Structure 1
Amino acid sequence: MNIAQTSAARSATKASVQNLTVDQLMSNAQGLVAGLAKRAAKTEELRKLPDETMAELYEAGLMRIITPKRYGGLEMDWPALPEAARIIARGCASTAWIVAVVGGHSGIVGRCPKAIQDEIFEAGPNQLFATGSAQTTGKLMKAKGGVTANGIWRFASGCDHASWIMVNGDVLNEDGSKSGRAVRVVVPAKHVEILDTWHVAGMKGTGSKDLNFNNVFVPEKWLVDGPSNFQANPPGAEVNSECYLYDVAFGAYFSSWLLGPVLGAAEGAYEAYRESTKGRVSAMMPNSPAQLHTVQERLAESYCELEAARALYDKHNQFLHQRGMERRNIKPDEFIDSGRERTYIARLCHNLVHRLVRQMGAVGIYDTNPVQRFYRDLNVMQNQVALNWDVHMMNFGRRQLGLPTGMERLDNPPPERTPWGATNGKARSG
Structure 2
Amino acid sequence: MNEILAANAEKTEEQGHPTAESLQAAREVGAFALRTPQKYGGTWADATRVARLLSELGRDCPSTAWVAGTCLTSKALAVGTVSADVEREIFADPDALFCGSGSPAGGHAERVPGGVRLTGRWASASGCEDATWAGVGVMLDGVFSYALVPTADLTIDRTWHVAGMRGTGSHTLVADLVVPDERIGPLRLPGPPEDMLVYGLTALGPVVGATFGALDVINRMFASDRKPYMTQYASMGESPGARHWLADATRLAHRAERTMLALAAAADAEGLTADDYALLHADMADSARDCRTAVELMLDLHGASGFTTSNPLQRFWRDVAVGSRHPHLNPYLATERLGAALRG
After TM superposition, the score normalised by the length of structure 2 is 0.92
Unaligned runs of 5+ residues in structure 2 are none
Asked if 2 retains the 8 angstrom alpha-carbon contact of 1:133 and 1:154, the reply is: no
3-state SS of paired residue (1:41): helix
Structure 1 runs (4+) greater than 4 angstroms displaced: 133-136
CA deviation after TM superposition for structure 1 residue 268, in Å? 1.3
CA deviation after TM superposition for structure 1 residue 146, in Å? 3.1
Report the residue type matching 1:255 in the other structure.
Answer: G
Aligned position for 1:304: 251
Report the residue type matching 1:92 in the other structure.
Answer: C
- Give the whole-Å Cα distance in 2 for the aligned partners of 1:356 and 1:285: 19
2:143 pairs, out of 175, 181, 184, with: 181
- Give the whole-Å Cα distance in 1 for the aligned partners of 2:51 and 2:155: 30
Aligned position for 2:204: 259
The superposition leaves residues 187-233 of structure 1 with CA deviations (integer Å, 9 ceiling, x where unpaired) of: 111110011112210011111011111x21112111121127x646x
CA deviation after TM superposition for structure 1 residue 99, in Å? 2.0
Does residue 206 (structure 1) correspond to residue 168 (structure 2)? The answer is yes
3-state SS of paired residue (1:151): strand
Tell me: CA distance 1:205–1:341, structure 2 relative to 1, closer, same or farther (3 Å).
same
- Give the whole-Å Cα distance in 1 for the aligned partners of 2:50 and 2:315: 23
2:298 pairs, out of 341, 356, 360, with: 356
The superposition leaves residues 147-166 of structure 1 with CA deviations (integer Å, 9 ceiling, x where unpaired) of: 21212110000001111111
Asked if 1 retains the 8 angstrom alpha-carbon contact of 2:111 and 2:117, the reply is: yes
Give the count of matched residue pairs. Answer: 341
1:156 pairs, out of 91, 110, 125, with: 125
Aligned position for 1:216: 177
- Give the whole-Å Cα distance in 2 for the aligned partners of 1:106 and 1:138: 20
- Give the whole-Å Cα distance in 2 for the aligned partners of 1:144 and 1:53: 42
Asked if 2 retains the 8 angstrom alpha-carbon contact of 1:159 and 1:209, the reply is: yes
Asked if 2 retains the 8 angstrom alpha-carbon contact of 1:82 and 1:100, the reply is: no
Does residue 396 (structure 1) correspond to residue 338 (structure 2)? The answer is yes
Asked if 1 retains the 8 angstrom alpha-carbon contact of 2:69 and 2:203, the reply is: yes
Which structure has the larger Rg?
1
Cα RMSD (Å) of the superposition? 2.0
- Give the whole-Å Cα distance in 1 for the aligned partners of 2:255 and 2:25: 32
Does residue 56 (structure 1) correspond to residue 56 (structure 2)? The answer is no
CA deviation after TM superposition for structure 1 residue 101, in Å? 2.2
3-state SS of paired residue (1:159): coil
Aligned position for 1:321: 268
After superposition, residues 369-380 of structure 1 pair within 5 angstroms as 369-380=311-322
- Give the whole-Å Cα distance in 2 for the aligned partners of 1:249 and 1:358: 37
Does residue 286 (structure 1) correspond to residue 286 (structure 2)? The answer is no
2:87 pairs, out of 104, 117, 142, with: 117
CA deviation after TM superposition for structure 1 residue 135, in Å? 4.7
3-state SS of paired residue (1:142): strand
After TM superposition, the score normalised by the length of structure 1 is 0.75
CA deviation after TM superposition for structure 1 residue 307, in Å? 2.6
2:274 pairs, out of 312, 315, 332, with: 332
Q: Of the two structures, which has the highest relative contact order with CA contacts closer than 8 Å and spacing of 6 or more? A: 2
Asked if 2 retains the 8 angstrom alpha-carbon contact of 1:132 and 1:166, the reply is: yes
- Give the whole-Å Cα distance in 2 for the aligned partners of 1:355 and 1:56: 31
Percentage of matched positions with identical amino acids: 27
2:44 pairs, out of 75, 83, 97, with: 75
3-state SS of paired residue (2:303): helix
- Give the whole-Å Cα distance in 2 for the aligned partners of 1:187 and 1:283: 56
Asked if 1 retains the 8 angstrom alpha-carbon contact of 2:107 and 2:137, the reply is: no
CA deviation after TM superposition for structure 1 residue 359, in Å? 2.5
CA deviation after TM superposition for structure 1 residue 104, in Å? 4.0
